[in-house]
Amino acid sequence: MESQKNISPAVIKRLPRYYRYLGELLNHNIQKISSRELSLRMNVTASQIRQDLNCFGGFGQQGYGYNVEYLYHCIRRILGLDKSLCAILVGIGHLGQALANNSLFEKCGVRLIGLFDIADNLVGTAVGGETVRHFDTVGDFCAENRVDIAVLTVPRTETQAVAERLVRCGVFGFWNFANTELSLPDDPVKIENVHMRDSLMQLCYRLTNEGEILT
């Protein structure tokens, strides 16, 4: 099984969901599952699951189904969670602090190796076991450490400039929490946006247009 190029974004989007469901099955000590059972739990058709996994070479045995643990580890590897990617977090406000204290990096096999801000009252303090560094020193830090991902929780107006500076430091992965799109070269930069505001707005839409709320 080799990782492949040109996998559609829709498939990539489903992979973490497969990983999550398989992890839950493992927690319940379930060792094998048919694509039909998996499809019922995931609300995706069985043929969709087979198709998705075939993109990576396929893992099922006809009439047996999937070995949960094997498939879980394969998807972990496909997702690159076994690569020990290294991340820094820039912007140690409320959200930055919440992320620095969150287990999600560990769960994704990502090592959070540096925290950066520019505020005097934050630089030098410890957050989630790491000391906050001044962003002015990020160039030296990136020269001395491999940094694969920058998590951006800086104010929206600063995000573009911070990202451009990091690209010059050789950082190409951005996990962007600012409510704005970054304008950076597609190659080699990879950006994943978390648009929390868009998500809340969709809920507002569904509640007021499809729901019971009449105001």
| Residue 1 touching a copy of itself (CB under 8 A) | no
Asked if residue 102 binds a copy of itself (CB under 8 A), the reply is yes
Of 1, 40, 98, 126, the residue at the interface with a copy of itself (CB under 8 A) is 98
Select from 30-38, 103-111, 129-137, 159-167 the region that touches a copy of itself (CB under 8 A): 103-111
Nearer to a copy of itself, 104 or 120 (CB): 104
Within 10 angstroms of residue 57's Cβ, the number of other Cβ atoms is 12
Helix or strand or coil: residue 38? helix
Taking CB under 8 A as the criterion, the residue among 74, 116, 173, 178 binding a copy of itself is 173
Is residue 85 near a copy of itself by the rule CB under 8 A? yes
Give every CB contact of residue 181 below 8 A, 6+ residues apart in sequence.
Answer: 193
Establish if 72 lies at the interface with a copy of itself (CB under 8 A): no
Would you count residue 131 as binding a copy of itself (CB under 8 A)? no
Kindly write down the DSSP assignment for every residue of 115-172, as one continuous string: EEE--TTTTT-EETTEEEEEGGGHHHHHHHS---EEEE-S-HHHHHHHHHHHHHTT--
Q: What is the DSSP letter of 46?
A: H
Residues 6+ apart with CB under 8 A from 129: none
Residues that bind a copy of itself (CB under 8 A): 3-5, 7, 12-13, 15-17, 19-20, 24, 78-81, 83-85, 93-95, 97-98, 101-102, 104-105, 107-110, 148-149, 172-175, 179-180, 188, 190-192, 194-213, 215
